[in-house]
Structure 1
């Protein structure tokens, strides 16, 4: 049992490596044009390329999960991530870095595909919701702490050191998992396909609504370092404070989700969390339209978005896995694919207007939240199993 929990902890650490691919690099983005050439719009593509590459990787690992053993894919992904991270630190130009980031995102996607299936195999439904909430809280520390660490690394060794640290972390996790004997094989019950899931309106209800809430939040987060520093005349501290407050709120809400589901039911909690997040996104957009630029107010309005995501995140993700009817790897891959696809598309669309301030960033995020609510209204619910 202790060995199983150690393995699970290393799996969580491996998913954090994927998150480091965006959040550890965020502090360097506003200054990358000075270091590598290009402009702020290209610098935003350093983030979007990684996320877009991750989308392709999620699809690829979902297919390979039927043909290649999970331990081989999982650990191989970590070592490949280490190599690509080193290559990114040696990039000679913005264009080269963007291309390498796309490949880096592709190879780093395996832990995100297989981790939910591992949790589903280890726990019953109630404990799985609790486990996903706890694991989500641990993983959510990465967006809060990685920018702080990234800013420190930027000051110590420049933007290259951020990628060197990511490479070292991925390599160490790979070695530890090898020493421990690998990771469990993700179970699959029966045959499935991506197309079958994409045609299933019940699966799409949970997968799309989950992805659009989180994707909208990520679009906002990816854009705010540049907005705070280059538009509002602030500092990275403004962004870090916003992130820490948001993540702390998410952790509290995520760890309350199990009790809320037990008392009110999963569907009610998912709907309430979606509504709270959408209300926060609307408030952010209206404040931006009014010309507001206070870091304090932006941080306060960021709190309900994270609260809503924290409440709906664990039951929403788990019900998406249940709706995949045993095809855990493809189900989790599609959920995260939708998340990253929304984040990549939103970040790329907003990047040409990033120096116009909060309005385009908050507007894109609000659009995603609104569509998420529509998914819950229009698509059918998961039926209780007899």
Structure 2
């Protein structure tokens, strides 16, 4: 029961960090109408949050070696709530962008600490199941949060999402403070000489981190580019995209929650390999579909399905093995894996942007190349010793 309560606290904190992006998205058109504002500057409200979160991941990964993780979590949630509350009071877009960068930095703490804490609470299979549950909830949140944000704005204006985030942060802060005694305490014990540089030079860590980043990064590149491709290049609608996403998220959630039992039966490395190969196969099938003239929009859901299943099968065991490959440097390893995912998906989307008008051929080529990188790192780099 204690372990489940800890997991619930970590889920609450992680979801709050995600809400900082997804719940605020519907407010961007209103923020663009502020004095001196425009659509491009309004986008910086999201971009600043993402940049702050990336910096926060590196920062908290380092701080965990020097300070008690429990107090870092509480302090980060307190700062997150204060910055969210201050965002309601401002009327200057530049000041809001600065506050959002700080908000993203503070909100990244639970995502960095959660995998390492979970690893220490459970055995391998139990940790995979806990990570699968966390990943399933995180996968659902981006679809549900913008709808909730739009409803809040329609009810109470652009400030409503920020008020909701501030109140949720207060709730999480109270829960974390009340549960401080059950959270694993102390500083993280790390291998002597632990650093980001050591991890980036470690081929075993890179095997798991980059392959995970390639599989999930390739999937996200496809998701980010699919709306334009479906509506502009395939005469589809956003309804088609929503259906594809709903099918994909469902398949991921189901297979991710089965991954622990399957890994126990067939082996962790085998599940990582099968999942990575399925994601690569999906990328190749989409590439063939795109470069042979395409077809009905519903085919995307069919061809995209193996990528979601593959991520579900390899996601929890792959992430866990990446943390284990950190040699005790759990929080830095977790931060780097998340940064690999964010960096690959962001860079791929940015590089694809000038060619997105070419439609499905350009999008599927980018996805297939990234999935190939994920598979190649898994094949070429050494695995974690049994």
Which category describes the TM-score, using the shorter chain as reference length?
0.7 to 0.9
Highest relative contact order (Cα 8 Å, sep 6+), 1 or 2? 1
Q: How far apart in 2 are the matches of 1:33 and 1:350?
A: 27
Q: 1:108 to 1:359 in 2, by over 3 A?
A: farther
Aligned to 2:19: 20
CA drift at 1:376: 0.7
Aligned to 2:218: 216
Q: Cα deviations across residues 258-277 of structure 1 (Å, max 9, x unaligned)?
A: 23222322222111111211
Aligned to 2:305: 303
Q: Cα deviations across residues 69-117 of structure 1 (Å, max 9, x unaligned)?
A: 2122112222322334445566767766655544332221111111111
Aligned to 1:184: 184
* Selected match of 1:200 from 192, 199, 202: 202
Aligned to 1:314: 316
Q: 1:358 to 1:51 in 2, by over 3 A?
A: farther
> Residue 332 of structure 2: SS of its match in structure 1?
helix
CA drift at 1:359: 5.0
Q: Cα deviations across residues 6-61 of structure 1 (Å, max 9, x unaligned)?
A: 232011111112222333345566x579646545x766665554333322111111
Contact 1:79 1:170 (8 Å CA) reproduced: yes
Contact 2:283 2:368 (8 Å CA) reproduced: yes
Residue 142 of structure 2 corresponds to residue 140 of structure 1: no
Residue 108 of structure 2 corresponds to residue 109 of structure 1: yes
Q: 1:223 to 1:24 in 2, by over 3 A?
A: farther
Aligned residues: 381
Aligned to 2:278: 276
Task: Compare 211-220 and 250-259 and name the one that shifted more.
Answer: 211-220
Contact 1:280 1:302 (8 Å CA) reproduced: yes
Aligned to 1:172: 171
Q: How far apart in 1 are the matches of 2:239 and 2:92?
A: 27
CA drift at 1:314: 0.8
Unaligned runs of 5+ residues in structure 2 are none
Q: Please tell me the root mean square deviation across aligned C-alpha atoms, in Å.
A: 3.2
Contact 1:48 1:348 (8 Å CA) reproduced: no
> Residue 189 of structure 2: SS of its match in structure 1?
coil
Q: How far apart in 2 are the matches of 1:128 and 1:305?
A: 23
Q: How far apart in 1 are the matches of 2:361 and 2:42?
A: 19
Task: Compare 253-262 and 137-146 and name the one that shifted more.
Answer: 137-146
Q: 1:257 to 1:241 in 2, by over 3 A?
A: same
> Residue 217 of structure 2: SS of its match in structure 1?
helix
Residue 80 of structure 2 corresponds to residue 81 of structure 1: yes
Contact 2:229 2:357 (8 Å CA) reproduced: yes
Greater gyration radius? 2
CA drift at 1:220: 2.9
Q: 1:157 to 1:352 in 2, by over 3 A?
A: farther
Q: 1:244 to 1:96 in 2, by over 3 A?
A: farther
Q: How far apart in 1 are the matches of 2:156 and 2:230?
A: 23
* Selected match of 2:258 from 250, 256, 260: 256
Contact 1:27 1:236 (8 Å CA) reproduced: no
Q: Cα deviations across residues 187-228 of structure 1 (Å, max 9, x unaligned)?
A: 424432221111110011001111121122223333445656
Task: Compare 241-250 and 298-307 and name the one that shifted more.
Answer: 298-307
Task: Compare 207-216 and 222-231 and name the one that shifted more.
Answer: 222-231
Task: Compare 311-320 and 139-148 and name the one that shifted more.
Answer: 139-148
Q: Cα deviations across residues 158-210 of structure 1 (Å, max 9, x unaligned)?
A: 55433433332222211221123363236424432221111110011001111
Unaligned runs of 5+ residues in structure 1 are none
Q: 1:109 to 1:33 in 2, by over 3 A?
A: closer
Aligned to 2:245: 243
> Residue 303 of structure 1: SS of its match in structure 2?
helix
How do 1:356-375 residues align onto structure 2 when only pairs under 5 Å count? 357=359, 360-375=362-377
CA drift at 1:285: 4.2
Q: How far apart in 2 are the matches of 1:42 and 1:221?
A: 24
Q: How far apart in 1 are the matches of 2:295 and 2:102?
A: 36
